[in-house]
A and B are shown apart, each in its own frame.
Chain A
Amino acid sequence: MTVIAVTGPYLVQQAINALSLGSTYALLALGLAMLFSIMGLINFAHGELLVIGGYAMWALLEHGVPWPAVIPLTLLAPALAAIAMERIAFRPLRGASLVTLLIASFAVSLLLQTVFQIFAGTDKGIELPSWVDDVVDIGPYTISVLKIVMTGVTLLTLLLLTLFLKRTLLGIAMRAAAEDFEVTRLMGVRANAVVIAAFFLSGLLAGLASLFYFTQSGSVGPFDGTEPVVKAFIAVVIGGLGSLTGAVVGGFALGITEVVFDAALPAGAQPFGTAFALLVVIAILLLRPQGLVGRPVGLT
């Protein structure tokens, strides 16, 4: 990047890029953190929920369903899939160790990828409405409308989620379960209600992320979920495992780190951007093993 490029409009442009990328990571990370804090599950199959959202979007648009209907259905499909996933794969393993749950979710992830591969085959193009490419001029800045909408919707979602977790009975039960599941059950909260709600919400958040992710990529394939979900894992860890606020902070931190490396690296080193970002992440963990927001726990 040349010096000329680092001017006002460029900076604002990159800031929006960082925020919109961070939004996607934050939404995914939040879903992951929710499941982890409540049932100790590192859910590899979260990425496949994202892809299910993508396929739902593709299938609905193929059949000429109008966008106002596509959006809620795209949100709902991964949420229902998440509930099914819990019932079939994770309920028999409730209370199992971290490693067992991890392997199970890895297996579910691979199962879904294979099923996508068999039934959907190659990448499917998603037909996007023209407003996706719209830009808006604010003073000297030209900014993509979609990215502003993404950031805005994410912030709104976070606000609604916070209200849900703080003000409703189920939300409070979920936060309590994240602290101590056993004691929460002793207070008369049904374990299944909390777990199902957590899976539903995490699927819903994945659905929102898939709306953002696939309107930007423009196509959906069987393995598209892997990279974002692994990034989201990393976001969760940077923020601090088990902390929902941490997941959001980590998501945005990762988004910003990636955009900064993308912009700051010389052209020859550009392909290594992700590697550098991950090294920064590991360095953060070296200084704060408990994450940016988390509390120190553990042995080593």
Chain B
Amino acid sequence: MIRPWRYWAVESAAGSALVAGGLALVFLYGVLWAGGTTRHTVLFSKDTIVYFFIDVVLVVGLQIFSGNSGILSFGHTAFIGTAAYAASLLTIDTVLKPYVSPGLPHYLETHSVGLLPATLLAVGLVGVLALATGLVVLRLDGASAVIAILSLLLIANVVFGAWTSVTRGAGGLYGMPESTTIGWAFGAAVLAVLVARVFKDSRTGLQLQGSREDAFSAAAVGVHVRAARLRAWLLSAMVSGAGGALFALKLGAITPSTFYLQETFTIVVMLVIGGMTTVSGAVAGVAVVTFVREVLKPYESRSLDLGVMHVDRLTNLTNLALVALILAVLFFRREGLVGRRELDESLRRLRRAPGQSPHALSGRRRKRAP
């Protein structure tokens, strides 16, 4: 059962084929059916599918750090927002730019780029910020880390709102070309899934998962916990940043409140419902939440008569459903719908001959331990 360690990347990539295949089916649906306006009834519009893929990138991005390290980050929305603002400022038409963002440096004001360079530059910027913030906040542990990371979101929100000469403050940016096509979104989602899975099965990923289960024991066997966390933080922020850039270039207009607690909650719910320890879980969570959201959307504008009082609009009915869903998951299935094993791992387990201990570590994993 001992295999050369260098094949882990190939194996992990192959392992995520199942999830990627699922995404490909959604992509086909989006291209073939949802796109056709002549179809009589379409459950999901093409836009919904694009947002689904973008959400996959965002949630998988968060999974890379939170799923492996066990530290839930409420700060990733800061990276998503930063990348969104950066990508927007890079793509807004140069004719419009002086009006939207008069405070930009001259060079930026007179030049604009397309989706791919804008996304890559935004991801680079997020990488730099993630390194700077990670070096500071990851010195903390447990609840202090959670709150310090949350304060990054607050700082970002203040900057988005207050830096009016560049971000237009609460009014937000507009005029970005809506250039995130279903193809780009799908490609990014698959890439994110691959990156997350390969990272998860990498040396650093395994070390980090060890530290998630017991940080002291991991440190005792020679894991440099803080360094592992920093690497995951960096990668995770950059994947989230890519999602943020695509998100802005799909929306076409953004405000500071686009990237605050509501968005944070939605992403966290998606991650937790599916199960934060696996990449398959992250994707499954996005699928479930997207489905629930789409089904409930028509009811949000309805009114409700409770006898004692009358409610005009069921604003945010989706939120209520999400809360119910997440509490149900926390009460009855704390590891999320998918659980602690990737879908392909569970599948392999099912096919294995009966009698073999379900708790034994696979040879693959044992070999890879440092």
Contacts and interface: CB of A to CB of B under 8 A. Distances in A.
- The answer to whether A and B belong to the same complex is yes
Given A42-B143, A96-B334, A299-B225, A278 B154 contact: yes
B330 interface: yes
A114 B323 contact: yes
A110 B315 CA distance: 13
B5 interface: no
B331 A93 contact: yes
Contacts of B143: 36, 40, 42, 98, 237, 241
A103 interface: yes
Interface in A126-147: none
Chain A: number of interface residues, binned into ranges: 35 or more
A286 B144 contact: no
Interface string B253-266: 00000000100010
A114 B164 CA distance: 30
Contact of B155 (A42, A102, A119, A279): A279
Interface string A252-295: 00000000000000000001101100110110011001010000
B145 to A, nearest CB: 8
B307 interface: no
Interface string A212-234: 00000000000000100010011
Contact of B148 (A113, A272, A285): A285
B141 A103 contact: no
B151 A282 contact: yes
Nearest to A103: B272
Interface in A63-110: 89, 92-93, 96, 98-100, 102-104, 106-108, 110
B80 to A, nearest CB: 17
A117 interface: yes
A275 B140 contact: no
B139 A286 contact: yes
B314 interface: yes
User: Would you call the interface of chain A mostly helix, strand, loop, or mixed?
Assistant: helix
B159 A272 contact: yes
B327 interface: yes
A92 B155 CA distance: 34
Contacts of B151: 230, 234, 278, 281-282
A298 B211 CA distance: 12
A226 B157 CA distance: 13
A104 B330 contact: yes
Given A118-B311, A119-B309, A299-B141, A106 B331 contact: no
B222 to A, nearest CB: 14
A217 to B, nearest CB: 18
Given A100-B334, A104-B326, 10 more contacts: A89-B327, A93-B331, A107-B322, A111-B320, A236-B147, A241-B142, A271-B162, A274-B155, A278-B155, A299-B225
Interface of B: 70-72, 136-144, 146-148, 150-151, 154-155, 158-159, 161-164, 215-216, 219, 225-226, 229, 261, 265, 268-269, 272, 309, 311-316, 319-320, 322-323, 326-327, 330-331, 334
Interface of A: 36, 40, 42, 89, 92-93, 96, 98-100, 102-104, 106-108, 110-111, 113-115, 117-119, 121, 226, 230, 233-234, 236-237, 241, 271-272, 274-275, 278-279, 281-282, 285-286, 289, 291, 297-300
